[in-house]
Amino acid sequence: MIGWAFFGAIAVAPFLREALRAPMTDDTRQNAPGQISALPMGRTHIRWMGAADGPVAVCVHGLTTPSRVWEGLAQELGTRGFRVLAYDHFGRGFSDTVRGRQDRAFFLKHLNEVLANEQVKDGFTLIGYSMGGAIATAFAAENPKRLKQMILLAPAGMGHDLGPVAKATMWPGIGDWLMLALFARGHRKGTETERALPTSVPGIVDYQQAELQRRGFIPAVLSSLRGILSDRLESDHRALEGALPVLAIWGGIDKTIPLSRRDVLAAWNPTARHATIDDAGHGLTYTHTSDVMGAIDHAG
C-alpha cells in the first residue's frame, strides 16, 4: 500500500506543481510595457518600439523567449527608421493562456489577428526568430504579396535538436508527465549558460526563467513542440523561391538550430540570402544584436 502511494505521489506531483503555479492576472499585467489587446483568440500583449513613424517590421519570437527578446534589435531597427511591432504568443510573456493545439493554423490565426488589430498595412518586413522563423515562413508562403521582405534568425522548420526530453514528449501521456517533470530544470540550465554572455536585453535570462513560474507556460511549449515545431517546411520555402526577398541569419555555434540547416534552406530556396555569425549560438538575436543588424544592413 505504501509503495503504491509513493508511486502515485510521483505520478501526480508534476501535474500538481503545474496547477499551483500562478496564473496570468490583471495585477501581473500592470507591469507590462505596451498594451493588452482583447483579440478573438484571447488577450494579447502587443508592443510598438523603434521609430515613431516609418516602415513597419513585425517581429515573431520563439518557443520559450517572450517578446522582450526583441528590445535590443528593435532599438537598432528604430535608428534605421523602422516602427517595430512585437507580441507575445499565447502562454508566454503577458498574453493569455488559451486552449488549442499550437500548430500552424493556430499561430497564423493569431498573427493575422494582431496585424488586423494594429492595422498593419501590406508591404511590411516580417522577422522571425527560431520557432518564430517557422511561423514567419508559413505566413509568407501563404501571403507573399503582403510582405516587403522576410528575415529569419536561426529559423526552425528544417530540423532541430531540442534534446532527449523534447523528443520523448511526442508520446501522449508519458510525454506530458516528462515535460512537466523535467523541462523546468533543463530550461534553467540552458538559459543559465547565457548569463555571462553580452546582451542587448538586460535581464533576458531572468525574463526567460520567470516564465517557468507561470501556469500554462510549459503546456504551451509542449503544444508547440507537438504542433508547428513538428512540421517540415520544405514546401513553404520552395514556394517562396523568387517570390519574396528572404534573408536567413545563422549562429555558427548554434546547437539548437545547427548551421547545417543553412544548406537545407539553400537547397529549398536557392534565391534566399544567408549570413553567418561565426561565434554566435542560438541566442544571437540578443547576444549578437549588432552583428545581426550588420547582416541586415549589408543585405540591403
Beta bridge partners of 127: 59, 151
Q: What is the pLDDT of residue 3?
A: 56
pTM metric for this prediction: 0.95
- 22: DSSP letter: B
Q: What is the pLDDT of residues 221-267, one digit of tens each?
A: 999 999 999 999 999 999 999 999 999 999 999 999 999 999 999 99
The pLDDT > 70 percentage for the chain reads 95
In degrees and rounded to multiples of 5, residue 292 shows phi and psi of: -60, -45
Cβ pair 37, 48 in contact under 8 A? no
Q: What is the pLDDT of residue 162?
A: 64
Task: Give the C-alpha separation, 83 to 55, whole Å.
Answer: 6
Q: What is the pLDDT of residue 247?
A: 98
What is the full DSSP assignment across 102-133? -SHHHHHHHHHHHHHHTTPPSSEEEEEETHHH
In degrees and rounded to multiples of 5, residue 35 shows phi and psi of: -140, 160
In degrees and rounded to multiples of 5, residue 278 shows phi and psi of: -55, -40
Cβ pair 104, 137 in contact under 8 A? no
Q: Which residues of the chain have pLDDT under 70?
A: 1-10, 161-163, 165
- Identify the structural domains of the chain with CATH numbers, from first to last: 2-11+36-299 (3.40.50.1820)
